Chain A
Amino acid sequence: MKLGLRKLVLTVHLTSSVGWIGAVIAYLSLVVAAMTKQDAQTLRFAWFAMEQTGWSVIAPLALASFVSGLVISVGTRWGLFQHYWVLLSLVLTLFATVVLFLHLPTVNTYASLAAETPSASIGGLGGELFHAGVGLLVLIVIQLLNVYKPHGLTPYGWRKQQEHRITRVEYGHS
């Protein structure tokens, strides 16, 4: 991948990944506000805001982060399956994205219910706190992996490195 393109994809990846974390923190603040206030109006607004944030902000950022991460891994010498930290980041990002898209329809249901029901107790906030809290934890782990880039090659990565080394030595001799 050319340097200019690599930097562009990296910018998209950094922005979407950090934005994803920020959006989840904002989502968590809505959940906490709904749990502490406990009045019907706040609850209705909180569920509406959670639904909007989920579909309009978190979901696109998650997809952008996942796709840009894939592109930049494949397009550089890091590779997708050669380093454990890259592989683990991919698995965790995929896990977080899949759980997000499986969970968002539930948020829709609760938001509709909150809009129709005058009651202040429709439930579901415990699940939101759990999902968003665990999600935030997973995203922070991914960020730590990306910043520290701990050493460790997969068997495939090790084999590729050996092949690369042999090729380099052979070219050096010729």
Chain B
Amino acid sequence: MVEREPTEQKEITRGDHSPRISSYPGIPRWLKLSAIVAIILILLFGILHLTANHNMGPGMHMPSTAQGTAQP
């Protein structure tokens, strides 16, 4: 959904019109926060997966009969 064109990032100008290379502003805060939330969620899932004894591993992709546990 990219219906509008991007606007240039704001920059403090020196008053003249000479071209200059300004320094990269760095990774935005929203991306850092999102990365932290994503890491926490992945860690939580990993911990739950390791501690709980539920079928969420690679075996979850196979029917139980295919894993050798025949159903009645």
Contact = CB atoms under 8 A, between A and B. Distances in A.
Contacts of B54: 126
Interface in B30-72: 30-31, 34, 54-56, 60-66, 71-72
A150 B5 CA distance: 13
Contact of A122 (B4, B17, B24, B63): B63
Interface in A2-36: 10, 13-14, 17
The B interface is mostly helix, strand or loop, or mixed, namely: loop
Interface size classification for chain B:
20 to 34
B15 interface: no
B44 to A, nearest CB: 13
A170 B18 CA distance: 8
Contact of B63 (A17, A109, A147): A109
Interface residues of A, number: 47
B18 A169 contact: yes
20 contacts: A10-B2, A73-B2, A77-B6, A78-B2, A83-B6, A86-B2, A88-B34, A106-B62, A109-B63, A113-B65, A119-B71, A119-B72, A123-B63, A147-B1, A151-B28, A158-B9, A162-B21, A164-B8, A169-B19, A173-B17
Interface of B: 1-6, 8-9, 17-19, 21-22, 24-25, 27-28, 30-31, 34, 54-56, 60-66, 71-72
